Structure 1
Amino acid sequence: MSESGFAEHEDRWILGLRDLTVTKISVDHQLSLLLGSDACVVLECPCQLSQESAAKGGPQEMLDPARQDVAAALALFGAKVVSAVAFKTGTLRLAFDNGLQLNCRADPSFEAWQVTGPRGWRFVSLPGGDLAVWSGSEPTG
């Protein structure tokens, strides 16, 4: 892991968000999760919230921020991030200590999500399935 807490791999970035707590949830045309005081996840396209057991047929909820259909996301308040991965295909996967997982895929036409972190880090899912990364100075996407 790099000094910043973010680490690049061949197909993904490990985001330095582990152990950060969801301290605020806000909704307008997007769903925003404030993590601690230095990081924020903004979701603008439909995404899936599920229990870790979803792969085995557990419950899953679709969240649609544009329609403010995000009530299920309230269960994330106070949860700690245990894993945060931004795939270079534009998909974001967050896992929380309460057993919930949030998955947001790239959108063909819009920026589906973005994550901002400490010291100017920014990750953005670009339209069509690509990932742009700013390390506080210049994009590396």
Structure 2
Amino acid sequence: MMLNIVGSVVSSVSGEHMVELRLSEGSIVQVETLFKFRSRSGGAVTLDGQNGEGLPTLIRHLTGVSIAEACVDEESGALLIQFDNGSRIFVPSDPDYEAWMVTAADRSIAVAIPGGGAAFWDPPTEL
């Protein structure tokens, strides 16, 4: 399933107990477990979202960069975000925790289900 954050620009990368990407139009991507980051030069590393490991690398490579593709494998619960500079983030599901969550600017939510799969919530309707 494609996520509606394509075209958004990473405005900041931060983290303490998770890695958080804040996007230009207000969307937020949060990663709380191990994930893989591949830079535009092709170097790949596994980072731990829970302790903010690798933040300087992510800040250097992703700040100001647009998202070219963002999709979820609904069966496995994996999240893939590709950036227009060639970098990418891949977050597999975790057996015990919600590995990632994306809150879009329209307030729709996608979240990994522990053990595999993903759940999706539509934006709230105004009464």
Match in the other structure for 1:20? 8
Structure 1 stretches of at least 4 aligned residues deviating more than 3 Å after TM superposition: none
- Stretches of structure 2 lacking an aligned partner (at least 5 in a row): none
Contact 1:63–1:72 (8 Å) recurs in 2? no
Q: What letter matches 1:81 in structure 2?
A: I
How far did residue 137 of structure 1 move? 4.0
Contact 2:18–2:32 under 8 Å retained in 1: yes
Instruction: Determine if contact 1:61/1:72 at 8 Å carries over to the other structure.
Output: no
One-letter amino acid of the structure 2 residue matched with residue 64 of structure 1: D
Do residues 78 (structure 1) and 54 (structure 2) align?
Answer: no
Residue of structure 2 equivalent to 1:62: 46
Residue 125 of structure 1, aligned match among 85, 88, 112: 112
Aligned length: 122
Determine if contact 1:14/1:86 at 8 Å carries over to the other structure. yes
Change (3 A) 1:133 1:64: same
Q: Secondary structure at the match of 2:7?
A: coil
Structure of higher RCO (CA pairs closer than 8 Å, 6+ residues apart): 2
Q: Percent identity?
A: 28
- Residue 25 (structure 2) aligns with: 37
Using the size of structure 1 for normalisation, the TM-score is 0.80
Q: What SS does the aligned partner of 1:132 have?
A: strand
Q: Which ranges of structure 1 fall in alignment gaps of 5 or more residues?
A: 1-12
What is the CA-CA distance between 1:51 and the residue it aligns to?
3.8
